[in-house]
Chain A
Amino acid sequence: MEIRNSLGLHVRPASELAKLAQTFTCRIRLVAGRDDVDARSVMGLMTLGLEQGAKFELRAEGDDDAAAVAALSELVERGFDEK
């Protein structure tokens, strides 16, 4: 996937993503290059420093993994409701 919004994965979108990830029970990881973080961790997401256009992968494993991936991708595609 790719980051859409202009400011990148800064604190606000990272919080949104983490909050959403926490509503699911499966394991969710966000992988970008050599970094691999728990999507539930705001801090972890921010350390990636993903800017607009940065590419990454969402990996989920568990009961509701399909739903998780769908919801999270949609959030990213919407650019976290930012410009």
Chain B
Amino acid sequence: MEIKKGIAVSPGVAIAPAFLLESEDYRIPERKIRPERADGEVLRFDAAVAAARKEYEELREKAREDAGDLVAGIFNAHSMILSDPAVSGEILKGIREHNRTAEYALSLVMRRYAKIFLGHKNRQFADRVQDIYDIERMLLRHLIGERRENLSNLSTEVVVIAHDLTPSQTAALDRNKVRGFATDAGGRTSHVAILARALGMPAVVGLKNISLEVSGDDTVIIDGHQGIVVIRPDRATLEKYRETEKRLHRTETELSGMRTMPAVTLDGVKITMLGNIEFPHEVDDCLKNGAEGIGLYRTEYLYLGQDKEPTEEDHLRAYSEVVAHMPDKPIVLRTLDLGADKYLPGRTAEHEPNPFLGLRSIRLCLQEPEMFKTQLRAVLRAAAKGNIRIMFPMITTISELRQAKALLGHVMEDLDEEHVPFDRNVKVGMMVEVPAAAYILSDFAREVDFFSVGTNDLIQYTLAVDRGNEAVASLYSPANPAVLRLLKHVVTAADEAKVEISICGEMGGDPDYTLVLLGMGFRVLSVTAPGILEVKKVIRSISIEQAKAVADKVLTLDSDREVISFLKETTRKLLPENF
């Protein structure tokens, strides 16, 4: 058994065999055999080795012709490893003494050696690990052949283990069979984190080398609460997690009863629940849980992991799909919110020392008007087919807002001239995430149709902390008194100006803060599909009077810790069954 610690990015518990996703997607179909099959298994292994050796010879000959003896020599080494008595001895032992399949036996042995090589300080030796993977893949290919599985046609439940997961790899995954994710790389905002939260599955990232420690088909436990992954758990650990899984399932069943319930407090105040989505298919999950619309439709994935920028038609296709899933309810579409440095295809931007404070989001869009107009054209055209609203992220000054609206105006003129149908009366709003805008919100109120508070970034900018930086991440807290007072200021200003305001950041979906947010005056929350149920449960168990009392009290406290402990105590009294 091995226990690895990483970053918890999506809660829940998953217990299933590992599906190791590598570039060739080989999944080990079975781990164990009945003892009487051992001889047959050994024959399979020998046959695979013979086939691999033959292939290496062919490769060597070809390499010798193309590139000479020195290059060809590497295949000699691979061949030798195939015939290495220690290696084959261990594999055969695995088959005969431990009743393993040839695939599982070979994979375990190769990974063991890989781990040793990776431990070498000398780069030259450590790099040899690639040879081991190559040989493993070669042998697996000869053993498994046509029985290959990939994420879209799994035969059993699995947890997906990989170095990293790209949108294209996960695009077609089978949601009924995938139970969770664990990756070497990544942080809270990486694709796998967002995907896992949207699917309501546990995920742990930043594990550094989990993909090397796990062999295909190992039993793996993913603990998305504590950020722990257990490989090949012993019986005691397995039992403990099965209990946790049962308990979580009970909660989930209770929560599913919330799906059709209205989000109304005990004293009859209605809260509008909206959904946060990234992909069109998430709309259905939100609707199923009772969402009355989409409060945040993130569009960055259209740009990520692509070779070139999306065209107007690419945008339009995606937006139309979302509208098709939800033709009569409002959809708030957020324009591009990325930085140039990492994510935009085909661009070699200079390395920014502080990308978070740099040329990103609306700032980038205003500097690249052609790119921005492409998105705006598509949004306006899609708005003709449904109830779409536009939201500009990271607005810092009134001037930026006006520029963005002016550009939108130009695009409307263009579409007019081209006689392309679009919605002239589309509602335009902005995200409240930069403190500068939060402080003078009333000035902005005159120029927008709605606000939405992006608490994630608002908290980071206000507390000057990068929550992805493990060294200081503990400073990040929605319970920070300055954050709470700023939020109170914001909702009060919006109410006075009679402009709609919602919360679309994570804080809105965190049931620990529902009382405070409602008590301050927020009446619209946009959260992930699973969050809708959890928050509704709280809403239906409290009254606005109680919420106001809680908010008033909390705003007088002067540390995160006091706030959190007061909120926990209060929730315990009002919702005893949650404990």
A18 to B113, CA, bound (A): 17
**Chain A residues numbered 26-42 whose CB sits less than 8 Å from any CB in chain B:** 37-38, 40-42
Contacts known (A11-B77, A11-B131, A15-B76); A41 close to B122, Cβ less than 8 A: no
**Chain A residues numbered 1-31 whose CB sits less than 8 Å from any CB in chain B:** 7-8, 10-12, 14-15, 18-19
Taking a contact as CB atoms under 8 Å apart, the answer to whether A42 and B77 are in contact is: yes
| Shortest Cβ distance from residue A48 to the other chain B in the assembled complex, whole angstroms | 9
Residue A53, interface by CB 8 Å: no
Taking a contact as CB atoms under 8 Å apart, the answer to whether B128 and A46 are in contact is: yes
A40 proximity list for chain B (CB < 8 A): 84-86
Interface size on B, residues (CB 8 A): 19
B122 proximity list for chain A (CB < 8 A): 8, 49, 51
What residue in chain B is nearest A22 (Cβ atoms)? B85
A41 proximity list for chain B (CB < 8 A): 84-87
- With beta carbons under 8 angstroms apart, the residue of A12, A15, A38, A47 that contacts B117 is A47
Residue A43, interface by CB 8 Å: yes
Main secondary structure of the interface of B (DSSP, over half): helix
Most-contacted residue by chain B among A15, A37, A51 (CB, 10 A): A15
Most-contacted residue by chain B among A38, A46, A51 (CB, 10 A): A46
Pairs A–B under 8 Å by Cβ, sample size 7: A11-B74, A11-B128, A37-B86, A40-B84, A43-B113, A49-B122, A51-B122
Residue B156, interface by CB 8 Å: no
| Shortest Cβ distance from residue B285 to the other chain A in the assembled complex, whole angstroms | 48
Residue B356, interface by CB 8 Å: no
What residue in chain B is nearest A51 (Cβ atoms)? B122
A10 to B113, CA, bound (A): 15
Taking a contact as CB atoms under 8 Å apart, the answer to whether B116 and A47 are in contact is: yes
- With beta carbons under 8 angstroms apart, the residue of B85, B116, B124 that contacts A10 is B124
Residue B81, interface by CB 8 Å: yes
A37 to B86, CA, bound (A): 9
A47 to B87, CA, bound (A): 12
Main secondary structure of the interface of A (DSSP, over half): helix
Contacts known (A12-B73, A47-B117, A49-B120); A38 close to B86, Cβ less than 8 A: yes
A residues whose Cβ falls under 8 Å from a Cβ of B: 7-8, 10-12, 14-15, 18-19, 37-38, 40-44, 46-47, 49, 51
B86 proximity list for chain A (CB < 8 A): 37-38, 40-41, 43-44
What residue in chain A is nearest B120 (Cβ atoms)? A49
B439 proximity list for chain A (CB < 8 A): none
Residue B125, interface by CB 8 Å: yes
Q: Which 5 A-B pairs have the closest CB atoms?
A: A41-B86, A49-B125, A49-B120, A11-B77, A42-B80
A37 to B116, CA, bound (A): 14
A15 to B74, CA, bound (A): 10
A10 to B80, CA, bound (A): 13
What residue in chain B is nearest A19 (Cβ atoms)? B80
Contacts known (A41-B85, A43-B87); A7 close to B73, Cβ less than 8 A: no
Taking a contact as CB atoms under 8 Å apart, the answer to whether B113 and A47 are in contact is: yes
B128 proximity list for chain A (CB < 8 A): 10-11, 46
A12 proximity list for chain B (CB < 8 A): 73, 77
B120 proximity list for chain A (CB < 8 A): 49
B76 proximity list for chain A (CB < 8 A): 15
